[in-house]
Amino acid sequence: MKVRKTCELSTWDCQITAILPLVCIDFANSPLSHGKLVILAAFNSKIMRLVSYLKDEHDQLALLVDGLLFDMELIHPDLPGNMHMFLNYWEDFLPVAQAGELAIQDGNISQEKGTNLESVTLLSPVPIPSSCRDAYAFRQHVASARKNRGLQMVPEFDQYPVFYFTNHHGICGPGEISCMPDHFEQLDFELEAAIVISKTGRNIRAADADNYIAGLMVMNDLSARKLQMEEMLLNLGPAKGKDFATAVGPYLVTLDELQPLEVPCKQGHKGKSWNLRMQCRVNGKTVSEGNLSDMDWTFAEIIERASYGVNLFAGDIIGSGTVGTGCFLELNGTGKLNNPNYELQWLQDGDEIEMEIDALGTLQNKITRDSDDYSLLALKKI
C-alpha cells in the first residue's frame, strides 16, 4: 500500500527527512512546482492503531506499535498530541503518522522512546467527541427482538436507516464503569462497532460518505433496560437507560488499513462493508458472536441520513447498532421463547466484559457499583 501526499515546502516538511529517512521526498523531479513536494511512503501489512491515554492528567495521542506507545510529538514535533486536533487536520497529519509508523517498525525511531501499553490508563480513542449517534443497522437484531415480544418485523426498517443521539459526555474507554443502583435493574451490554468522522460535511451522499470516515473501533452501548423500557412507554428515549456509559476502544484503526477485509455490502445498498468477526465474552464465557458484514444499512448510508440538513464534524462518533445476538435482551428473549425455564442473564457488579472485533482489538471493561444508593425508580409516584 502507498500513500501519496502533497504539501507546501517548509521547515516542517524538511524535518521529515531527518526523522523519517525512509520517506521518499521527490522535489526536483516532481510534476508539481511552485514550492510543493510529494511524499511517498510504503507501508507493510501491519494495522495502524491510534491510541489516547492519560498522561500528566491530560489525554495524549500515540501510535501503538508492537505493544509500545509512541507519542505523536516523538514522531514529528508538529504532530498534535491529542486526537481532537489530529482529526481536525486529518488529511494533513495522517500521512506523516503513517510514515512514522514505518520508521518505528524499521528501527529508525528507537523503541526506547516507546511507553509500554500495560503501564498506562487507556482512554476512549476520541476522549471528548463532539457528538455520539447510535444506529439500528442490523436487521437480525431488530427482527429477533421484536419476535421475542410477539411483534412482526417493522417494515420501515428496510426503507431508511435510523439513529438516536446518546450522551457524548458519557463516552469512556477501557476500564471500570461505575453504575448506579437503578442501572443494575436489567443491566445489559450491546456489541457494536463505531466509526469516527474525519472532516466536516453536510448533506453527504452515501456514494461519497466513506471518505468522511477516519476509522473504526469497538463499541459497547451499556443499557439499563428497566429505565429504558419505562421511559419508552412515553414514546421518548432511550435516555436515562443509555446515557450513563458508552465504552469505545481500545484504539482507532484507520479505514485504509481495513481495505484487505472489505466485502460487498448487501444488495441494494451503498458503501463499504468489512468481514470482521465480532464476539462478546462475560467473565471469560462467550455470549455473543456475529460479523460486521451483517450490517444491512452501511455506515455510508447512515452518514447520508445523519448529515441531511446538519453538519457532521471531525470527532463525531456513530455506532452501528447491536449485531444479531449482541445483547442479553435479545438472548434472554430467544431463550425464553424456546425454553420457559431459561435462566435470564444480566450484568452484575464485578462482571468483566470483553468485546473483540477482528482487526479492531479487544475492549475490556469491568462493572462496578457506585457508593451512592440513590434511586430514581424509588421516586415513582405510583
pLDDT, position 46: 61
Residues 6+ apart with CB under 8 A from 114: 65, 68, 69, 70, 104
pLDDT, position 237: 82
pLDDT, position 190: 98
- pTM equals 0.89
Locus of grid cell 451499556: 222
CA distance to 21, 70, 278, per residue, from 66 (Å)? 21, 10, 23
pLDDT, position 148: 86
User: Domain spans of the chain?
Assistant: 2-119, 132-372
Taking 70 as the pLDDT cut, the residues of the chain under it are: 1-46
Crossing angle (nearest 10°) for helices 139-148 and 328-338 = 50
| 191-197/213-221 β-pairing | antiparallel
pLDDT, position 27: 31
Q: Is there a contact between 41 and 99 (Cβ–Cβ < 8 Å)?
A: yes
Residue 233: Cβ-neighbour burial (10 angstroms; 0-12, 13-18, 19+): exposed
pLDDT, position 205: 98
**Phi then psi dihedrals of residue 296, to 5 deg:** -80, -50
pLDDT, position 15: 41
- Dump pLDDT digits (tens) for 55-80: 999 999 999 999 999 999 999 999 99
- CATH number among 3.30.2320.30, 3.40.50.1370, 3.90.850.10, 3.10.580.10, domain 132-372: 3.90.850.10
Q: Is there a contact between 356 and 289 (Cβ–Cβ < 8 Å)?
A: no
Least Cα distance to 321 among 225, 192, 224, 216 occurs for 192
Least Cα distance to 260 among 43, 72, 41 occurs for 43
